[in-house]
Structure 1
């Protein structure tokens, strides 16, 4: 038999949370992620990018956004 008091489940996530709850979620997850000591970012030539497809609905959405389409 399981001792429910010893293995309490975490509280359900608040899907309509505010910025404070989002920051709390990020703070709890931060120890699980590691960043490389140094990141060497180099440009990638377009000829080496293969197999990227954008659904037409997503392309129309981005095209309609003034930040991206103008």
Structure 2
């Protein structure tokens, strides 16, 4: 793959149209295969879930936005 640098400052010196062209050429490389999402499990089937006390304390001690 060829890399072009117009101003010596990498992508910062390139025009938007050139960047769009680069993205369009790369898009076929990033195709994600279609997969079906798993069906949600009804709440009535979820039972017997236990959370260890250490995990409860860990989450309780965290701030709202994480630590």
Query: What's the TM-score, normalizing by structure 2?
Result: 0.35
Larger radius of gyration: 2
**Larger RCO, structure (CA 8 Å, separation 6 or more):** 2
